[in-house]
A = this chain, B = another copy of it.
């Protein structure tokens, strides 16, 4: 190992994440990953237990990041539209901090097998519900006006998570943050 090289395990996970993003999980072989790292496929198993373990790692690490973000926001003591704005910004932060992992998190989780699959879906639901309750609170306080909350939550999350598909050709993270937070706030305001 030469100067300041990442541990092999991390390197494998990193390379795998990129490949899962660009080719998809099912279409990425262990031999693809190995070639990108510069070793043989069988050698990967000195560092990880299975292909799916890599996917599981990525999906749940990102899920945790998203959940932590919104939980922290919900515990703060500020106005509802400030809270909402913060939640959006935190979501954007998590995505831009690791675009490839976000893409995998968003597009490849269906390849998780049980019981991970169910567990993941539960986490995802929980996250959506948090967003939903934020908007509901805004509506109760008379700050937001929304005809169909489910619709708004889903449209918003789709829009946010779409970042990973086109992020290459746009704004720096801080501007992205502001742009999203403002667009949605404007759309919700009474």
Contact = CB atoms under 8 A, between A and B. Distances in A.
Interface of A: 22-24, 26-27, 107, 110-111, 147-148, 150-152, 154-159, 161-163, 165-166, 169-171, 175-176, 179-180, 183, 186-187
Contact of A183 (B110, B163, B175, B187): B187
Of all A-B residue pairs in the complex, the 4 with the closest CB atoms, nearest first, are A158-B162, A26-B26, A159-B159, A26-B27
Nearest to A106: B165
A24 B111 CA distance: 9
Interface residue SS majority, chain A: helix
A155 B171 contact: no
A148 B170 contact: yes
Given A155-B159, A155-B180, A148 B165 contact: no
